[in-house]
C-alpha cells in the first residue's frame, strides 16, 4: 500500500483536525483559549551550557518548528493561531532565521525578543489554559489552568489517530532511517566498532544524535542482549558475531523507530534471525481492526514459543511454554507502542478521552499498548528473542529448567539476541508496513 508523502498538500487538512481537537480541549477546561510554549532550554547544574533542547510535543503537533525555543502558540476559539516567534538579538548564538515554509500562511506570526514581550501579546490570561513544562511562567503570566488533566486526557487519547499528514511524516522519517540502517549494516560487515557504526548511521541520515528522536542503540555480540544498551564501544570485538541496531530518524518532528539484527556469518544465529523475521512479518499479517493489541502480544509469544521449540532451545509444547511464562525469559519487553510526535507516543493504555486506563496484563507488565487496533493508528511491531544471563539464571532455577537445552543456549549466548522492529500504520482496515516500504525506497 503506497502512502502519500505530499506533506505540503496534506498539511491544511491536518491543521483542521488539530484545531478541532484543541478547541474541544479548551472547552473541557472551561476556557476560551490556550497557550503552548515550545519549551525553554535547561541549563546544566553548576554550568553555563544547556542540555539538548526537546520541543514540547503539543507545540510541534501544530507546525514543524523544532528548534526555536522560547516561542509560543496562542490559540483562541475563532482567531487565526498566533505564533510568538522568538528571534532575539544575540551575538553569542545564531538566532533563528525568518519563518518560511508551507505552514507560515496559516499563522499570525509576531516576533518576540524575549519572554518579557509575551505579557502584552496574549490578551486576558484568565481566559487561557497552559500546556507545557514551564508552570512557573504560567503563574507569572496569570494563567491558572495549567496542564488540566481533563484536557490532556482527551488530547492524548485522540493523538493515537494520525492524520494523513502525520502518517506521511512518519513514512519520510522511516525512509531516512532506512538509509542509516543500510549504511550501518555495511559498516558492521566491514568489522567496525559500535562507535564507528553509529557515526556512519548519523552521516547517512545527515543528523547529529541530538536531532534523532532517541539515542540510538548499536550493540555488538553479547551487548545485543541488553535491551536499552547505552554505550558505543570504541574498539571492534576480536571476534564478531552479531549486531543489533535500534536507531530512528525524524521528519517534521515525527519519529521513526526501527530495529534490525544481523549475523556476521552464516550459521545457527543467522537462521534464527531469518525465522524471527518470518514470525515478525507473520504477526503483522495477523493484524485486524478491533483486535486488542494485548492479544496480538500474546499471539507473538505463541509464535516465539514455536521458534524456541523448533530450534531445540526449549522442549515444551508452545501453549504450555506461554502459560508457564517461559517465553518471558526470552522476550521480556512489549511487542510495541504507539509512534508519532514521540517515540513512545502517549495514550497507549487509555480506554477513552476521560483518562480511564486499561493496564497491561500482569503476565506482561512492560506492554505499552493495550488499546483496540483502529484505523489511523501507527505503532511498532518489535518482537525479540534474547539470551539475557540474569533471566536465564532465573529460568535455570525454575521448575522448567529440565526442558531447556542449556548447551544450545551456551552456544548462542555470545550473539546476545535478536530484535526486528517495523512501524505499521492502519489504513482502510489494513496494516501498512511503513518501514518495509521505506527500505524499498532507500535501497540503491
Average pLDDT over residues 310-314: 98
Averaged pLDDT, 221-247: 97
Q: How confident is the model at residue 79 (pLDDT cuts 50, 70, 90)?
A: confident
Quick one: average pLDDT of 138-151?
95
pLDDT of residue 256: 98
* Separation between Cα atoms, residue 189 and residue 194, nearest integer Å: 12
Which 8-state DSSP code applies to residue 43?
Answer: B
pLDDT at 442: 87
Give which of 176, 150, 57 is closest to 434, Cα–Cα: 176
Three-state DSSP class for residue 167: helix
CA R_g for the chain: 24
Mean pLDDT of 230-239: 97
Distances in Å between the alpha carbon of 209 and those of 203, 216, 223, 419? Answer: 10, 8, 20, 21
Domain ranges for the chain, please list them.
Answer: 7-158, 164-442
The per-residue pLDDT for range 149-189, each reduced to its tens digit, is 999 999 999 999 999 999 999 999 999 999 999 999 999 99
Residue 212 has pLDDT above 80, yes or no: yes
Q: Would the pLDDT of 78 be above 90?
A: no
Mean pLDDT of the chain: 96
Look at residue 103 in the predicted model and tell me its pLDDT: 97
Domains 7-158 and 164-442 share a fold: no
Average pLDDT over residues 254-279: 98
**Confidence bin at 1 (pLDDT 50/70/90):** low
The 8-class DSSP code of residue 234 comes to S
Query: H helices within 324-403, ranges in order?
Result: 389-396
Topology of the domain covering 164-442: Creatine Amidinohydrolase (3.90.230)
Which of 3.30.710.10, 3.50.50.60, 1.10.10.60, 3.40.350.10 would CATH assign to domain 7-158?
A: 3.40.350.10
SS3 of 287-300: CCCCCEHHHHHHHH
User: Does the structure show a pLDDT above 80 at 131?
Assistant: yes
Burial environment of residue 220 by CB neighbours within 10 A (0 to 12, 13 to 18, 19 or more): buried
- Answer with the residue of higher pLDDT: 93 or 242: 242
Residue 64 grid cell: 514543524
Predicted local distance difference test score (pLDDT) of residue 425: 98
Amino acid at each position: 500500500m503506497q502512502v502519500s508523502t505530499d506533506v505540503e498538500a496534506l498539511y491544511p487538512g491536518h491543521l483542521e483536525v488539530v484545531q478541532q481537537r484543541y478547541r474541544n480541549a479548551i472547552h473541557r477546561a472551561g476556557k476560551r483559549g490556550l497557550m503552548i510554549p515550545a519549551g525553554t532550554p535547561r541549563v546544566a547544574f553548576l554550568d553555563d551550557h544547556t542540555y539538548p533542547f526537546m520541543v514540547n510535543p503539543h507545540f510541534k503537533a501544530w507546525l514543524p518548528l523544532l528548534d526555536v525555543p522560547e516561542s509560543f502558540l496562542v490559540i483562541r476559539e475563532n482567531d487565526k493561531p498566533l505564533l510568538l516567534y522568538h528571534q532575539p538579538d544575540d551575538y553569542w548564538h545564531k538566532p533563528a532565521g525568518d519563518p518560511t515554509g508551507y505552514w507560515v500562511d496559516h499563522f499570525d506570526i509576531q516576533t518576540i525578543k524575549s519572554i518579557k514581550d509575551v505579557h502584552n501579546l496574549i490578551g486576558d490570561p484568565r481566559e487561557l489554559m497552559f500546556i507545557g513544562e514551564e508552570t512557573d511562567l504560567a503563574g507569572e503570566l496569570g494563567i491558572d489552568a495549567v496542564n488540566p488533566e481533563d484536557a490532556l486526557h482527551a488530547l492524548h487519547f485522540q493523538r493515537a489517530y494520525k492524520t494523513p499528514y502525520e502518517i506521511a511524516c512518519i513514512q519520510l522519517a522511516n525512509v531516512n532511517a532506512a538509509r542509516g540502517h543500510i549504511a550501518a549494516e555495511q559498516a558492521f560487515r566491514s568489522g567496525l566498532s559500535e562507535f564507528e557504526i553509529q557515526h556512519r548511521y548519523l552521516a547517512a541520515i545527515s543528523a547529529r544524535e541530538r536531532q534523532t528522536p532517541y539515542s540510538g542503540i548499536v550493540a555488538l555480540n553479547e551487548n545485543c542482549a541488553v535491551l536499552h544498551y547505552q554505550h558505543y564501544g570504541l574498539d571492534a570485538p576480536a571476534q564478531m558475531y552479531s549486531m543489533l541496531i535500534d536507531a530512528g530518524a525524524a521528519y517534521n518532528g515525527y519519529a521513526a523507530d526501527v530495529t534490525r539484527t544481523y549475523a556476521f556469518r552464516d550459521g545457527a544465529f543467522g537462521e534464527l534471525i531469518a525465522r524471527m523475521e518470518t514470525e515478525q512479518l507473520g504477526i503483522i499479517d495477523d493484524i485486524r481492526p478491533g483486535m486488542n493489541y494485548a492479544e496480538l502480544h500474546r499471539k507473538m509469544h505463541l509464535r516465539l514459543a514455536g521458534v524456541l521449540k523448533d530450534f531445540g532451545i526449549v522442549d515444551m509444547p508452545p501453549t504450555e511454554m506461554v502459560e508457564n511464562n517461559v517465553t518471558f525469559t526470552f522476550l521480556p519487553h512489549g511487542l510495541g507502542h504507539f509512534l508519532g510526535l514521540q517515540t513512545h507516543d502517549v495514550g497507549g493504555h487509555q480506554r477513552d478521552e476521560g483518562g480511564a486506563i486499561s493496564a497491561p496484563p500482569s503476565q506482561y507488565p512492560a506492554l505499552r499498548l493495550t488499546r483496540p487496533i483502529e484505523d489511523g493508528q501507527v505503532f511498532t511491531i518489535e518482537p525479540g528473542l534474547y539470551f539475557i544471563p540474569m533471566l536465564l539464571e532465573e529460568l535455570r532455577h525454575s521448575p522448567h529448567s529440565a526442558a531447556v537445552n542449556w548447551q544450545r543456549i551456551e552456544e548462542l549466548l555470545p550473539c546476545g539476541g535478536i530484535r526486528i522492529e517495523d512501524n505499521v500504520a492502519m489504513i482502510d482496515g489494513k496494516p501498512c508496513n511503513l518501514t518495509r516500504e521505506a527500505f524499498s525506497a532507500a535501497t540503491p
